[in-house]
A and B are shown apart, each in its own frame.
Chain A
Amino acid sequence: MISGYLEGLGMVLQVGTLLAIAGGTLLGIIMGALPGLTSAMAIALLLPVTFGMPPVMGIGMLLGALCGAGASGSIPAILLNIPGTPSSVATTFDGFPMAQKGEAGRALGLAIVASFFGGVASMVILSLLAPPIAEFALRFGAAEYFSLSIFGLVIIASVAGKSLLKGLIAGLIGFFASTIGTDPITGVGRFTFDQLSLLTGINLLPALIGLFAVSQVLKDAFEYDPRQRLEESTHRIDIARPRFLETLRHWKAVVAGILSGSIVGPIPGAGGSIASLVAYDQTRRFSKSPEKFGTGHAPGIVSVESANNALLGGALIPTLALGIPGEAATAVLLGGLMIQGITPGPLLFDDQSGTVYGIFLAYLAANVFMLLIMCLGIKLFIRVLMVPRKQLLAAILVFCFIGVYGVDGDVFNLYLMLGFGVLGYFLNRYDFGTAPVILGLILGPIAEANLRRGLQAFQGDWTPFFTRPISLTFLVIAVGLLALTLWQNYRGNRRSESNASS
């Protein structure tokens, strides 16, 4: 482990790697500060830039974007009462009232430091928990990998869309798309339509950029209204400096945030808004002055922001150790890892331990850069909010083009990107979600290959998939979750029907 850390440290402590992490963090902060643009989009846009980079440098850049976006969602939440990211919703509860009292700088200072503490603590938890989970997963065979893929797909499908069925359909669309190309066992071409670019299957990058960046641009284009202008913040921000001592005085709120984020984070699909709301609720519940929450109370901001960044480290645990992402942004990150030639999962910890520990340390560095950049550039990021939308949309689309075309110079991939963008737009608009599609694309080949490999090994016998303990456990949990979600959906429908009739 120590040799792994030393090897990883050598990879991170290079000028190029540190610059890449800082650059990724900066872009993440800008994207997170812009309402409507997500960390998943930031990572998708950065993916092509990372191609020529060594793995730790490239992944460090993506982690920087993830970390920066996780923290900067608080800027519009505090100044404009508009959450920059879904996980910043709870930041508005106390952040905006504090800003209204003329203490916007204090609120931002608390949010920055709490995000930093949350991020650093989650890195420690990640580095402690991921290796033993990966070690346990070394026992997995074909049956277990098949069941794990189904488990991952069911979990994200049950939480990503607004209804279970729609989430499952989205996952199955991705799964179907993953079957396009040459069948790896028989060599039969499936749905290639004599298109050379499809012989090796759907390229992950155009799918990722289409689903997470182009679809968002199309949504913004639909909603674009030049008559609606953001009012420039009138709040005082000249005192926006990090509030270490004040944040530490609210250590209980920090701990509540770290615990909530770390527990919710590894649950695939649970998402940042749940972690931050849980942290806020727990801090208020155990507070001596719960009545102050919602009026610009510092522990409210501290708990939410520490939970937001603690969540990211937690979400990386199943992503790295099992290859199952925690939510949309880590699903894109998983795609990024695979494009980099890194196959997340237990073998990664065995074969490339230096890279794994390098990734842990890169995440720590990303948190340090997030703290520095947010403190130094807070006024600049507030100006980012004023960037005209139409110019921004054009620039993002150009980035998407270069990203997809630059990889192999194949124009077909640009059409693929646009196709996935249009598909993603409608999937989001009609409550299916896009995260399950990517997971289907990633997990589909794993599920199919392991099922077929397992069946060959078991001489066509299906029973080992249901009798091997770990495989059975995954399948039972998946079925249990399906049943639970269906029951919750049924209850929700009944409740809304009875509300409508009364």
Chain B
Amino acid sequence: MERDIGKPIFDLLLLIASAAAFAAAMALPDIEIVGDLSPAFFPKLISAMIFLFAIPCLVKDVREWRAAVPAGGSRPANRRGVMQWLWIVGLTVVYILLFEPLGYIPSTAVFAFCCVIGLLIASGVWGELSASQRVKSLGGAAIFAIVLAVAIYYVFTDLFEIPLPD
């Protein structure tokens, strides 16, 4: 079995988050209505249950992590995957930030272009391309981004009457 520290870390984060949620639930006002539970009852109960259930998960995943052999040759692939993942998440945050200020078509075209080219760069393929191949990739990505943004805009605004920021 391959060693993955992510599992116990995720369990630990769950423990911390559920403890924080429980503390936040404790701060909710305790309003008494005859025969009813307070609004804090369910949040407290659920966060406590998540905390309790996460403990055996953490113990099991730590034991499995310690028993597993360290990963061998898959490190570069893993690093590449992390880069690609972070690129998409980061780009999505920027897309959200620019969506209204820039308008739908420009922000979407920029997002789609950066998404395609960014994945090529993050995957390491960009470095293997010749100059002409790079120009071709840039051109292809630009055409794809513009066509995607414009086509979707008209389909959604005209056909489905869903308003999008101009």
A positions within 8 Å CB-CB of B: 48-49, 51-52, 163, 165-166, 168-169, 172-173, 175-176, 179, 183, 185-186, 188, 190-191, 214, 217-218, 221-227, 390-391, 393-395, 397-399, 401-402, 405-406, 409, 411, 414-415, 418, 422, 426, 429-431, 444, 448, 451-452, 455-460, 500
Contacts and interface: CB of A to CB of B under 8 A. Distances in A.
Contacts of A399: 152
Interface residues of B, number: 67
B115 A393 contact: yes
Interface of B: 6-7, 10-11, 14, 21, 24, 28-29, 31, 33-40, 42-43, 46-47, 49-50, 53-54, 56-57, 60, 67, 77, 80-82, 84-85, 87-89, 92-93, 95-96, 99-100, 104, 108, 111-112, 115-116, 119-120, 123, 125, 144-145, 148-149, 152, 156, 160-165
A398 B164 contact: no
A176 B39 contact: no
Given A418-B89, A452-B36, A169 B54 contact: yes
B27 to A, nearest CB: 10
B57 A190 contact: no
Contact of A415 (B47, B67, B96): B96
25 contacts: A163-B60, A169-B50, A173-B50, A175-B46, A176-B50, A185-B33, A191-B24, A221-B85, A224-B84, A224-B123, A226-B120, A226-B123, A227-B125, A391-B116, A393-B88, A398-B112, A399-B152, A409-B165, A429-B6, A430-B6, A444-B42, A455-B36, A456-B36, A457-B35, A458-B35
B108 to A, nearest CB: 6
Contacts of A214: 92
B112 A394 contact: yes
Q: Which of A223, A451, A452, A456 has the most CB of B within 10 A?
A: A452
A448 B95 CA distance: 37
B93 A418 contact: yes
Contact of B148 (A394, A430, A456): A394
B160 A52 contact: yes
Given A172-B49, A185-B39, A415-B96, A398 B149 contact: yes
A226 B125 contact: yes
Contact of A406 (B10, B47, B164): B164
Nearest to B116: A390
Contacts of A414: 96, 99
A115 B152 CA distance: 32
A49 B160 CA distance: 7
B46 A390 contact: no
B160 A452 contact: no
Nearest to A166: B57
Contacts of A176: 21, 43, 46-47, 50
A274 B137 CA distance: 43
A223 B11 CA distance: 23
Which of B6, B92, B108, B144 has the most CB atoms of chain A within a 10 A radius of its CB? B92
B53 A165 contact: yes
Nearest to A219: B85
A457 B152 CA distance: 52
B123 A451 contact: no
Given A176-B46, A183-B39, A430 B10 contact: yes
